[in-house]
Chains A and B, each alone.
Chain A
Amino acid sequence: MSILEAYNLNFSYDNNTIFNDVTIKIKEGSFVNIYGRNGVGKTTLLKILSGSIITDSNVKVDKIKINKFNMDVINSKTAFISSNNKFFSKTVLDEILLEKNDITDVDVSTARKLLDDFNLSSIEDISPLDLSYAENQIVGVIKCMIKKPKVLFIDNAFSRFDYDKKTEILEFIKKYALKNNITVIYASNNLDDIYLFDRVIVLKNKEIYLDTDPKSLLNDDKLLDVTKKLPFIEELSRKLIMYNLVSKKYDNLLELAEDLLK
């Protein structure tokens, strides 16, 4: 079933059209990457789909059409983490539990367990203002996770992390989401992240330009209309194939090297 829907979405800002007749349907439980160049409208799209920006168009969360009177309900079903969250609670634990009404012991122990899963038990009692950027972002993630929203929106929240750490966090989120039937919408401006996702929606020129799984996307020449810079292994594979040095594409360096060495 579609947990998120937008039909014929039109949106302009300051006399600039951002979206022109865009229709999207997101299946519940999916792990979706929204990819596009800087300024194409990824943040705007996430804000529209989460109800942060209310439009005249037909946008539904869990079958409920977003309007300015039902934001409470919409907010209870969504959680949003952006690239620069600022937290003002007294302690990290307070912040994590901020959006829970009637906090129970189970909530507190869940919060502690999640902090432990990220190896951050030591920061439970400190002020969020004293956190490093990485710790801050992870606190944001935990705060969202504990809410168990229907849809978790992640707006380029991990771009400062190194590749391995980012992959680790995304894998953890994916596992948690799968277990709790949470749909994840993740916006990013590069292709390094796409391998973990079920579906990549590529935005370009006020519309959805490509919409497919990561592997098919990397095999689609239309991708080169969006960006000339592909992930390292993809670019290397393509060029080696062009020179007849390997027979096919690989998704890891070791296998690519083995083929090359034959």
Chain B
Amino acid sequence: MKHDNKIVAVVGNSGAGKSTFIKNQKISKKVGIINDETIKENRVRDQLLYYVKKYKYRLDILDDRFNEIIKMLSISEKILDKDVFEISESEYYKVLIGSILLYNPEVIVFDDILCFFDEENKQKLFKLSSKLKKFFNKTIYFVTSDIDSVYEYVDDIIVIDNAKVLLEGDKKEVYKEYSLLKKNRIRIPNIVEFIKLMRDNNVNIDDVDSINELIKTIYREIG
């Protein structure tokens, strides 16, 4: 996987084979994958500690890192001694994320779990990912069917169709292949669709990736 120090979205429609693409990678010392197979223990605390103990990462400062991670992910101390089946869905996936972050892999893969978080929690996760990339040199993958949620926060895109890579590269470049994507019925982000609508009508707004930037560029051209 050759996207060093980038945030990458792996997209494609449901059943297109995204998770199969990821399944060929296994959780290793270097690559931490968060998906339904990440769960190994019944109790929250045990799950959080599973991988850091397995890979023996900085056991000397484990307590500090543990407290830091649960604070960062807003994991309530009240659930630490509960069974993983007793907690809510969003808490569950936060625990899985925590268990992977705790052993500090170089590459982190969020494999189809974003959808279980509400918008505010998704934003927190994106901000966290940006920090991990910027300050800790991590490479991050979001495997998701929901390109609209991640588009603003990623650098590169890998489009999977029929278990194969259809397109790969910088996000702006990938979505320039509009016809190819439409032909394969791959979802185009709302913002890209809207920018295309404007440009097709000779309003040359900038190729932005957030609504706020979109408003600014529309206003400059039309307002």
Q: By the criterion CB–CB under 8 Å, are A189 and B190 in contact?
A: no
Check if B219 is an interface residue, CB within 8 A of chain A: yes
Besides the known contacts A163-B148, A164-B187, A235-B211, 13 further A-B residue pairs in the complex with CB atoms under 8 A apart:
A39-B88, A132-B15, A133-B14, A133-B112, A134-B15, A160-B115, A160-B145, A163-B146, A165-B14, A189-B116, A229-B120, A257-B201, A261-B201
Check if A38 is an interface residue, CB within 8 A of chain B: yes
Q: By the criterion CB–CB under 8 Å, are A38 and B88 in contact?
A: yes
Chain A CB within 10 Å — which of B90, B120, B193, B223 has the most?
B120
Q: B88, B117, B146, B190: which contacts A43 (Cβ < 8 A)?
A: B88
**For residues 1 through 58 of chain A, which have their beta carbon under 8 Å from a beta carbon of chain B?**
14, 37-39, 43
B interface, by DSSP: helix, strand, loop or mixed?
Answer: helix
Give me 20 A-to-B residue pairs in the complex whose CB atoms sit less than 8 angstroms apart, sorted by A's number: A14-B78, A43-B89, A83-B116, A133-B112, A156-B116, A162-B187, A163-B146, A165-B13, A189-B90, A190-B118, A229-B119, A229-B120, A232-B190, A232-B191, A239-B211, A243-B219, A245-B223, A253-B193, A253-B194, A257-B198
Q: By the criterion CB–CB under 8 Å, are A232 and B148 in contact?
A: yes
A160–B113 CA distance with the chains assembled, in angstroms: 8
Q: B14, B123, B193, B215: which contacts A243 (Cβ < 8 A)?
A: B215
In the complex, what's the smallest C-beta–C-beta distance from A35 to chain B, in angstroms?
Answer: 9
Q: By the criterion CB–CB under 8 Å, are A38 and B89 in contact?
A: yes
Nearest CB to that of B92 among chain A residues? A84
1/0 per position for B9-27, CB-CB distance to A under 8 A?
0000111000100000000
Interface of A toward B, CB cutoff 8 Å: 14, 37-39, 43, 83-84, 132-135, 156, 159-165, 189-190, 227-229, 232-233, 235-236, 239-240, 243, 245, 253-254, 256-257, 260-261
